[in-house]
Amino acid sequence: GELHELDARVSVCRACPRLVEWREDVAVSKRKSFADQPYWGRPIPGWGADEPRILIAGLAPAANGGNRTGRVFTGDRSGDWLFASLYRVGLANQPTSEHAGDGLRLIGTRMIAAVRCAPPANKPTPAERDTCAPWYNRELELVLPTTKAIVCLGKFGFDALLTALAALGTTVPKPRPKFGHAAEYLIKTPHGDLTVLASFHPSQQNTFTGKLTEPMLDQVLTRAKTLAGL
């Protein structure tokens, strides 16, 4: 369907020169521990259910994670942490992610990133975010009719999602909702209400310091599951 066509079109996008150079450089030079593996090195489409009830929304793929595996939020420590939690709460069929042929499946859930190419230092510029927004907005538009809960990972991902939802004509509360772990906001869309949930990002910076613990992430994902009726 249209979602797959969109995936195919985004996967050849070269609109951001800095990100194109970075994603391809990393794919050629490779991290030592992955030296024997192929790298995707291109934009990362959304991944998971085609008619999701839950979306997991982040900012951008990681250079040696999604940029290597071709699946967003997999192949690095943040992804490991996230998938362990998804598995514990029953939203993934296995707790680990190795590579694109590992049989991993998400249950009623789709993962998407606001910016499709891995940025240096995990930070896209505002201009890069805006350049990628049409891809993000279109994908959101296609999956919104079935979506009941959106879990945003990190403040940048949360902000990008609210911007996209506003651009799609949904009613985002004013003043704009504040980011905080386990914060939740009801958003009115033409297809009905959905809930946006915020979570601290499962980056090593947060998980090593205990700012984000396993029960904290499980709690937000369990809440999403309940809201989605899964």
Which residues in 63-122 contact ligand SF4 (CB under 6 A)? Answer: 115-117
- Cα–Cα distance measured from residue 96 to residue 224, given in angstroms and rounded to the nearest whole number: 21
| Of residues 17 and 229, the one with the C-beta less far from ligand SF4 | 17
CB of 112: closest distance to ligand SF4 in angstroms?
Answer: 12
Question: Is-contact 164 129, C-beta < 8 A?
Answer: no
Identify the sign of the CA torsion 84, 86, 91, 92: negative
57: which 2 tokens? Answer: 């929304």
Identify the sign of the CA torsion 15, 122, 202, 188: negative
Which residues in 181-210 contact ligand SF4 (CB under 6 A)? Answer: none
Which residues in 7-26 contact ligand SF4 (CB under 6 A)? Answer: 10, 13-16, 19-20
CB of 109: closest distance to ligand SF4 in angstroms?
Answer: 22
Q: Rule CB under 6 A: is residue 6 a binding residue for ligand SF4? A: no
Phi-psi region of 111 (alpha: psi -120 to 50; beta: other; left: phi over 0): beta
- Cα–Cα distance measured from residue 128 to residue 14, given in angstroms and rounded to the nearest whole number: 11
- Cα–Cα distance measured from residue 165 to residue 141, given in angstroms and rounded to the nearest whole number: 9
CB of 194: closest distance to ligand SF4 in angstroms?
Answer: 24
CB of 139: closest distance to ligand SF4 in angstroms?
Answer: 11
| Of residues 118 and 151, the one with the C-beta less far from ligand SF4 | 118
CB of 124: closest distance to ligand SF4 in angstroms?
Answer: 7
Question: Is-contact 149 227, C-beta < 8 A?
Answer: yes
CB of 69: closest distance to ligand SF4 in angstroms?
Answer: 16
Which 3 state secondary structure label does DSSP give 93? coil
Would you give the end-to-end CA distance of the chain in angstroms? 24
Total of residues contacting ligand SF4 (CB under 6 A)? 15
Question: Is-contact 59 179, C-beta < 8 A?
Answer: no
Site string for ligand SF4, 119-138 (x = CB under 6 A): ---------x--xx--x---
Site string for ligand SF4, 35-64 (x = CB under 6 A): --------x---------------------
Q: Which residues bind ligand SF4 (CB under 6 A)?
A: 10, 13-16, 19-20, 43, 115-117, 128, 131-132, 135
